[in-house]
Amino acid sequence: RQRVNQELKAMEREEIIRIEPGGLVVLERAALMRISEADA
């Protein structure tokens, strides 16, 4: 869980996502897709 939180915070700093109390908002879908493809 700690590792997931670290990754989410990193993506938030890079403005790929925004973390909100109810969940998260994808700001840069293309960047998120590149990350997911690189980790596959």
- Answer whether residue 35 shows pLDDT above 70: yes
pLDDT at 1: 86
Q: Look at residue 40 and tell me if it is in a domain.
A: no
Total structural domains within the chain? 1
Torsion of CA 6, 8, 10, 13, to 10 degrees: -140
> Domain of 17?
1-26
| Distances 2 to 6, 9, 28, 36 between C-alpha atoms, Å | 6, 11, 23, 19
b/e 9-19 (16+ beta carbons within 10 angstroms → b): eebeeeebbee
Whether 36 maps to a domain, the answer reads no
Report whether pLDDT(40) > 70.
Answer: no
Q: Is residue 34 part of a domain?
A: no
Residue 25's pLDDT is what? 98
Rounded CA-CA distance 37/23 in Å is: 22
Q: What is the pLDDT of residues 5-26, one digit of tens each?
A: 999 999 999 999 999 999 999 9
Within a domain: 32: no
